[in-house]
């Protein structure tokens, strides 16, 4: 397994084509906008010890980072949830390796199923790629979400065929693909890009039913950095105005401008009837992964309790009640994630898969709970959470004494401590950290309606009606 420093050095050897604020970024490692998110991924290497963060490879028998592991039991699924909460609390942000782990597990299932029905050799290719990922301890970016264009139209019906990533042509040694993947969390911190379809496909959409893996600096891949609230505070040097001093996240628009993919890296090519299975399984795995939001919730609850103490209101009954409610809601996320893991079962490939219904329940809770936690945190913190002066004002020889005087809460806590906690709450609920906590909670792994559709499809209403009719004598 790689160390933290070995991971960072491995990124230095890559040469991706990256654009930010209208300019080409020549060096990703060390860039102040990108470094906090790189540090969050590096933490997954830093903490890789013990049974939570590591596992035994079913391919080699070696000890590996759990983020590269294929689930071999319900215990693996449960440990995955525990790992994600741990990392969410440790970094207070998105640590960016979950989607890649979920894509690996999905492909271990679906490539096996395609081979079994089609006589292809995708699973053999995938296992070779997996062995490479495990041996090199790589970060994989799972690229699912297409631009989608006109949402009323299917992929093959779009005015611009590139609105969904698709096969442009086949060549002797591989395929050429074109399109884009949006909202790619941590793409610039990844070694490999794993592309999967974003929706179910029909025969006419077969060119869009494609899955493959390519090195992140492959020719033709272009990264366009996404803006976030208060993101340029990272350019101001070391200041507590960023809120989270150590970690952060980033998103990219990833363009595939006629990218060549060798056949040995192709895991689906026009088998349109398997796109729905791939999407559903990836979505369920990734919806379980939102146990990370319980970890981030731990940080926000801790900050809220602290600011209540600094404000002198921690003993107020209504504040105590809100803190209890925050914990109750936050633990519900983790309970749901554990439940879908404990109820998991083996697929024909041998890979263990979560209970899909409960995974969707998990994610639907996540679309609501973090917003409620943020609301209560802001209520307890007070309006100062978005009006607190900057650290530069605190250090200023003329006005610093006034900032220190009037930013005080209880007399025995320095104003700077109160300002630091306020900045953390601001970051998690309205600032750059909120992008990894709130909008990601809403839309990551699918928007709320996607979960409602899956719940409606999977819940057994007939059985519930039968139970009710029997008890009242209808049946």
Residue 141 bridge partners (DSSP): 193
- Based on the residue annotation, tell me whether 26 is a catalytic residue of this protein: no
Q: What angle do CA 440, 441, 447 make, to 5 degrees?
A: 90
Angle between helices 369-381 and 292-311 (to 10 degrees): 10
| CATH class of the 287-471 domain in this structure | mainly alpha
Chain-centroid distance of CA 475 in Å reads 47
Dump pLDDT digits (tens) for 329-384. 999 999 999 999 999 999 999 999 999 999 999 999 999 999 999 999 999 999 99
- Based on the residue annotation, tell me whether 185 is a catalytic residue of this protein: yes
CA distance 163 to 182: 11
Start-to-end CA distance of the chain, whole Å, equals: 60
209, 271 contact by CB (below 8 A):
yes
Q: Which of 35, 54, 68, 94 is catalytic?
A: 94
- Based on the residue annotation, tell me whether 440 is a catalytic residue of this protein: yes
Q: Which of 252, 292, 340, 436 is catalytic?
A: 292
Count the neighbouring beta carbons within 10 Å of the beta carbon of residue 124.
13
- Decide yes or no: CATH 2.60.40.10 for domain 4-274: no
Burial of residue 474, with CB atoms counted within 10 A of its CB: 0-12 exposed, 13-18 middle, 19 or more buried: exposed
User: Any idea where the domains of the chain sit in the sequence?
Assistant: 4-274, 287-471
CA distance 364 to 441: 9
Q: How far is CA 48 from CA 1, 58, 70, 130, 285, in A?
A: 8, 18, 16, 19, 21
Across 226-293, the runs of DSSP E, i.e. the strands, are 252-262, 266-269
Phi, psi of 388 (to 5 degrees): -60, 135
Q: Which of 45, 112, 290, 352 is catalytic?
A: 290
**In residues, how long is the chain?**
475
Q: Which of 78, 79, 83, 129 is nearest to 104 (CA)?
A: 129
Q: What is the pLDDT of residue 17?
A: 98
- Based on the residue annotation, tell me whether 58 is a catalytic residue of this protein: no
109, 351 contact by CB (below 8 A):
yes
Q: What is the pLDDT of residue 88?
A: 98
Q: Which residues contact 282 (CB under 8 A, 6 or more apart)?
A: 102, 103, 106, 142, 144, 196
Q: What is the pLDDT of residue 210?
A: 98
Q: What is the pLDDT of residue 80?
A: 98
- Based on the residue annotation, tell me whether 157 is a catalytic residue of this protein: no
Residue with tokens 């559903």: 280
Give me 218's structure tokens.
Answer: 């492959």
Q: How far is CA 40 from CA 32, 46, 119, 197, in A?
A: 14, 10, 41, 27
- Based on the residue annotation, tell me whether 251 is a catalytic residue of this protein: yes
Q: Which of 411, 384, 425, 424 is nearest to 312 (CA)?
A: 411
- Based on the residue annotation, tell me whether 290 is a catalytic residue of this protein: yes
Where the chain has pLDDT below 50, the residues are none
Q: Which of 84, 192, 251, 426 is catalytic?
A: 251
**Same fold yes or no, 4-274 and 287-471:** no
Q: Which of 79, 91, 106, 185 is catalytic?
A: 185
Give me 21's structure tokens.
Answer: 């604020």
Q: Which of 208, 286, 336, 426 is catalytic?
A: 286
- Based on the residue annotation, tell me whether 93 is a catalytic residue of this protein: no
Give me 180's structure tokens.
Answer: 């884009």
């Amino acid at each position: 397994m790689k160390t933290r420093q070995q991971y960072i050095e491995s990124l230095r050897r890559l040469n991706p084509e990256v654009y930010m604020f209208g300019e080409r970024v020549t060096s990703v490692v060390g860039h102040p906008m990108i470094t906090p998110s790189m540090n969050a991924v590096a933490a997954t290497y830093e903490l890789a010890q013990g049974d939570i963060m590591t596992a035994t490879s079913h391919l080699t028998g070696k000890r590996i980072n759990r983020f590269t592991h294929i689930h071999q039991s319900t215990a693996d699924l449960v440990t995955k949830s525990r790992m994600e909460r741990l990392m969410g609390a440790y970094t207070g942000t998105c640590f960016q390796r979950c989607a890649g782990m979920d894509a690996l597990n999905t492909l271990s299932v679906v490539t096996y199923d395609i081979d079994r029905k089609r006589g292809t050799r995708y699973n053999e290719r995938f296992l070779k790629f997996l062995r490479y990922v495990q041996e090199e301890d790589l970060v994989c970016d799972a690229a699912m979400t297409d631009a989608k264009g006109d949402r009323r139209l299917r992929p093959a019906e779009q005015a611009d065929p590139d609105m969904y990533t698709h096969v442009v042509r086949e060549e002797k040694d591989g395929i050429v693909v074109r399109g884009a993947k949006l909202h790619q969390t941590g793409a610039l911190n990844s070694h490999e890009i794993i592309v999967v379809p974003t929706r179910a496909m029909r025969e006419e959409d077969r060119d869009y039913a494609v899955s493959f893996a390519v090195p992140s600096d492959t020719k033709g891949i272009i990264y366009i950095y996404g803006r976030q609230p208060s993101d340029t505070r990272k350019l101001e040097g070391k200041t507590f105005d960023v809120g989270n001093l150590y970690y952060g996240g980033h998103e990219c628009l990833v363009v595939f401008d006629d990218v060549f993919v060798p056949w040995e890296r192709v895991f689906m090519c026009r088998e349109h009837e398997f796109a729905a299975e791939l999407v559903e399984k990836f979505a369920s795995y990734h919806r379980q992964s939102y146990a990370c939001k319980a970890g981030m919730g731990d940080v926000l609850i801790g900050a809220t309790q602290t600011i209540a103490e600094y404000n002198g209101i921690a003993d107020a009954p209504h504040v105590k009640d809100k803190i209890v409610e925050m914990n109750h809601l936050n633990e519900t996320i983790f309970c749901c994630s554990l439940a879908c893991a404990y109820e998991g079962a083996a697929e024909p490939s041998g890979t263990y898969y979560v209970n899909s219904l409960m995974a969707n329940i998990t994610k639907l809770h996540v679309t609501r709970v973090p917003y409620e936690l943020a609301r209560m945190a802001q209520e307890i913190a007070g309006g100062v959470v978005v009006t607190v002066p900057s650290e530069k004002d605190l250090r200023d020889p003329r006005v610093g004494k006034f900032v220190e005087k009037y930013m005080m809460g209880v007399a025995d806590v320095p104003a700077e401590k109160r300002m630091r906690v306020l900045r953390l709450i601001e970051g998690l609920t309205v600032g750059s950290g909120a992008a990894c906590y709130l909008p990601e909670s809403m839309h990551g792994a699918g928007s709320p309606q996607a979960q409602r559709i899956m719940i409606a499809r999977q819940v057994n209403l007939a059985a519930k009606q039968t139970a009710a009719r029997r008890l009242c004598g209808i049946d």
